[in-house]
């Protein structure tokens, strides 16, 4: 059973929601964050990326960065940029990006569920990124950005949410990236209680995006429990901020790759070696793989379509048959010497929203030698693999649109 609980969200007033909202912390570098927040003292990036308010040469993991985030959150509260609801509520959050529309329920999920496996994960976390999130959340004493979860579809949950969305929204705006954001409040206790019961009948939730924040929530709970001799299990720090979407509404984009060098080989030598595991077809146009086991490769100013040979694909291997696994095992590891993509500094992961233009830009700059475009992992593949407690290669999924930060904050005290 999946435990969800309502909470008193810390959030902006209607007239400031668009100014406050920001992209999540991990889809930009510091320079991009500074540019996005420039001239906007209300931007949530002052909390989620507080290093933008400190000297540019400062280590982003310096303790002063986490302290600055705490200070900035306090200032947002004191200035009324963020105010806390008086009663526990659920919230409905809808995003629209072109033809894509996804509507989720904003709740607090259970740390116990994450640690017991009711909440299923599909990726390992990196120790440095997890530690960063632990410090950030602990200093803020808040979950400042929601985790992106998916669930099996439940008809009655969807009926309740559809009914809520016929009412007047609390927020309704289009962000500067063209994505529409609309939110409603569920304050009716009858609906809240019914949703809790319905989710209790859902056996599992799945992490779509936010493995590090989920893991950090568990570690922060242990820190706070250790400091609280009166710990009861009902404190706010026993849960963390999530948005849960039904599986039938989500959109996965590919997570592409670029590599800095050809591992000591010439372009001609590399193409010959690639041809041992893939059919290679030169392409006059950028390659956007339309089906599984097809890949695009940009090398030395030219595009190629790669088709995996059947002998390198084991369709009985849930993890090995993923396109990210095929590329990793047959090419990135075997030919380019990238045996651990979680730690190797020669590989760069490129979210699908940036498109093939970003791959061309990286290679043409001379900083990278080759780039690969992938077909996206499917929701069905993610769920099947997570249900088997198996782990995908790192950076296997890119969900879009991204949840906007700053619209809902969960205070831990």
- Give the chain's radius of gyration (CA, Å): 22
At 313, list the tokens. Answer: 């694909």
Instruction: Please tell me the distance from the alpha carbon of residue 312 to that of residue 277, in angstroms, as a whole number.
Output: 7
Instruction: Look at domain 255-375 and name its CATH class.
Output: alpha beta
Region 101-114: what's the mean pLDDT?
97
Compute the average pLDDT of residues 259-267: 98
Query: Can you give the residue ranges of every domain in the chain?
Result: 4-248+401-411, 255-375
Question: What is the structure's pLDDT at 353?
Answer: 87
Nearest CA to 407 among 46, 8, 18?
18
What are 152's two structure tokens?
A: 């099996």
* Whether residue 195 has pLDDT greater than 90: yes
Q: What is the pLDDT of residues 343-388, one digit of tens each?
A: 899 999 999 888 999 999 999 999 999 999 999 999 999 999 999 9
Q: Alpha-carbon distance 103 to 71, whole Å? A: 33
Q: What digits encode the pLDDT tens for the residues 196-228?
A: 999 999 999 999 999 999 999 999 999 999 999
pLDDT of residue 124: 86
Q: How far is CA 227 from CA 144, 215, 235, 237, in A?
A: 21, 19, 13, 12
pTM: 0.90
Share of the chain above pLDDT 90, in %: 92
Q: What's the mean per-residue pLDDT of the chain?
A: 96
Confidence of residue 394 (pLDDT cuts 50, 70, 90): confident
């Amino acid at each position: 059973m999946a435990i969800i609980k309502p909470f008193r969200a810390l959030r902006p007033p209607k007239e400031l929601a668009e100014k406050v909202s920001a992209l999540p912390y991990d889809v930009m570098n510091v320079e991009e964050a500074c540019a996005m927040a420039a001239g906007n003292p209300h931007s949530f990036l002052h909390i989620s990326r507080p290093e933008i308010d400190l000297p540019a040469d400062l280590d982003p993991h310096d303790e002063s960065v986490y302290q600055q985030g705490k200070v900035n959150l306090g200032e947002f509260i004191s200035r009324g940029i963020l105010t806390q609801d008086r009663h526990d509520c659920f919230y409905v959050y809808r995003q629209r990006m072109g033809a894509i529309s996804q509507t989720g329920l904003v709740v607090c999920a259970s740390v116990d569920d994450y640690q017991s496996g009711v909440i299923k994960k599909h990726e390992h976390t990196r120790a440095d990124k997890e530690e960063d999130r632990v410090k950030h959340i602990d200093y803020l004493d808040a979950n400042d950005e929601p985790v992106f979860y998916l669930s099996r579809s439940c008809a009655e949950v969807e009926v309740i949410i559809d009914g809520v969305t016929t009412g007047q929204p609390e927020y309704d705006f289009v962000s500067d990236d063209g994505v529409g954001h609309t939110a409603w409040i569920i304050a009716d206790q009858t609906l809240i209680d019914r949703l809790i019961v319905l989710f209790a009948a859902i056996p599992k939730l799945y992490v779509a995006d936010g493995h590090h924040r989920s893991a950090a929530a568990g570690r922060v709970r242990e820190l706070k429990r250790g400091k609280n001799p009166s710990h009861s299990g009902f404190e706010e720090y026993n849960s963390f901020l999530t948005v849960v979407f039904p599986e039938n509404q989500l959109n996965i984009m590919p997570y592409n790759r670029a590599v800095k060098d050809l591992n000591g080989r010439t372009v001609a030598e590399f193409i010959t070696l690639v041809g041992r595991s893939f059919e290679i077809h030169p392409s006059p146009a950028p390659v956007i793989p339309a089906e599984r086991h097809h890949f695009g490769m940009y090398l030395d100013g030219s595009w190629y379509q790669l088709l995996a040979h059947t002998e390198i694909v084991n369709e009985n291997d849930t993890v090995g048959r993923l396109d990210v696994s095929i590329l990793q095992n047959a090419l990135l590891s075997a030919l380019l010497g990238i045996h651990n993509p979680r730690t190797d500094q020669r590989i760069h992961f490129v979210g699908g929203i940036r498109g093939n233009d970003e791959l061309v830009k990286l290679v043409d700059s001379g900083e990278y030698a080759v780039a690969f475009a992938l077909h996206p992992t499917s929701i069905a593949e993610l769920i099947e693999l997570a249900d088997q407690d198996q782990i995908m290669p790192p950076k296997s999924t890119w969900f879009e649109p991204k949840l906007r930060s700053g619209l809902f904050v969960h205070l831990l005290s």
